[in-house]
Amino acid sequence: MIKPLAHFIVAIKEAPEQTTTDGLYLPNDSKEHPLLALVKAVGVDVETVKAGDRIIYKQYETDTEIEKVRYLIIKEEDILAIL
């Protein structure tokens, strides 16, 4: 597992919904969706979120793949909301 430093957060991006609430299929190119992720680890200076929280974050992030898992590394200030 990645151990983030200072005010950074490690998360895993969640896949966007493939259907509407009414059950209609949405093709990939036709949907607008929020950027959601599940927090896996937080740096020592992070105060607002903890591991296990679901977040909405700004579009710009760093991502890396380790052992076939794609992780996001984002700053705490880039989190827009906690779900």
Coil, helix or strand at residue 77: helix
- For residue 70, tell me if it sits in a domain: yes
Distance separating alpha carbons of residues 42 and 74, to the nearest angstrom? 10
Residue type, 47: E
- pTM tops 0.85: no
Range of the domain at 2: 1-14+35-83
Residue 60 is predicted with a pLDDT of 77
Q: What's the domain count of the chain?
A: 1
- Structure confidence by residue, pLDDT tens digits, 13-65: 987 666 667 777 666 654 456 789 999 999 999 999 999 999 999 887 788 99
- For residue 27, tell me if it sits in a domain: no
- Tell me how long the chain is: 83
Q: What is the CATH number of the domain that holds 39?
A: 2.30.33.40
- For residue 58, tell me if it sits in a domain: yes
Residue 75: DSSP 8-state: E
- For residue 24, tell me if it sits in a domain: no
